[in-house]
Amino acid sequence: MQFISNRQIVLASGSPRRRELLGVLGIPIKVLPSNIDENVELIDGDFNVYVQKLSMKKADAVAKQEPDAVVIAADTIVVFEGEVYPKPGTEEQAEAFLKKFSGKTHSVFTGVSVLGAGKEIIFSVETKVAFKALDEQLIKAYVDSGDPMDKAGGYGIQTAGVLLVDKIEGDYSNVVGLPLSKLVEILRSEGIIQLKEGE
């Protein structure tokens, strides 16, 4: 299955995981990280609005540099008991995150913005992730692997972090960093991408 587009698609993110997910479309994609200040106020605990605003801030910054392209930006956060869990700053913090998630369910929110071709589309997706009851040996081995350090919440479901997960409710690719199914549905409905003839 391959898609085509008559516009340059720009991914406003340096995330290799998002680039890999978008690569499924088979469309040449330009990567241009936004490098913006990601401070956005969280209002009334509305995490959907929070990630939408962050993604739009990224998209807007890159759209100014690529006015003829369609810019796709995303921001993913991990939320547990009303708090945002960022990328851990230390191995100790990564271990603390995973101990808190152990045997419980947290949420992963991704906000996505699409700017260009006369369109301004913003949406967000929530996926619930239930962790197994984790023993300290498993947590330490995973943290020692280095995998958690560049990932929101301190784990990656697409890598060895999947061993920590009992089940998910919702879109798997959203937990990786981009709700691809919903994004493709919107890009197709807006005429930004089309299936290649014969597909």
Alpha-carbon distance of 124 to 53, in angstroms, equals 10
pLDDT of residue 102: 98
In the chain, what are the domain boundaries? 3-195
Percentage with pLDDT > 70 across the chain: 99
pLDDT of residue 38: 75
Quick one: pLDDT band at residue 39, thresholds 50, 70, 90? confident
Helices assigned H by DSSP within the chain? 16-23, 47-65, 91-101, 136-144, 172-176, 180-189
pLDDT of residue 17: 92
pLDDT of residue 32: 97
pTM value is 0.94
Quick one: pLDDT band at residue 125, thresholds 50, 70, 90? very high
60 is a catalytic site residue: no
pLDDT, one tens digit per residue, over 40-79 is: 888 888 999 999 999 999 999 999 999 999 999 999 999 9
CA dihedral 10, 110, 16, 7 (to 10 degrees): -20
CATH of domain 3-195: 3.90.950.10
Q: What are phi and psi of 18, to 5 degrees?
A: -65, -40
The token pair at 1 is: 């299955």
Quick one: pLDDT band at residue 24, thresholds 50, 70, 90? very high
Catalytic residue chosen out of the listed positions 44, 68, 75, 144? 75
Mean per-residue pLDDT for 98-119? Answer: 97
pLDDT at 89 over 60: yes
- Give the amino acid at 138: L
The neighbour count for residue 55, using CB atoms within 10 Å, is: 28
Alpha-carbon distance of 156 to 159, in angstroms, equals 5
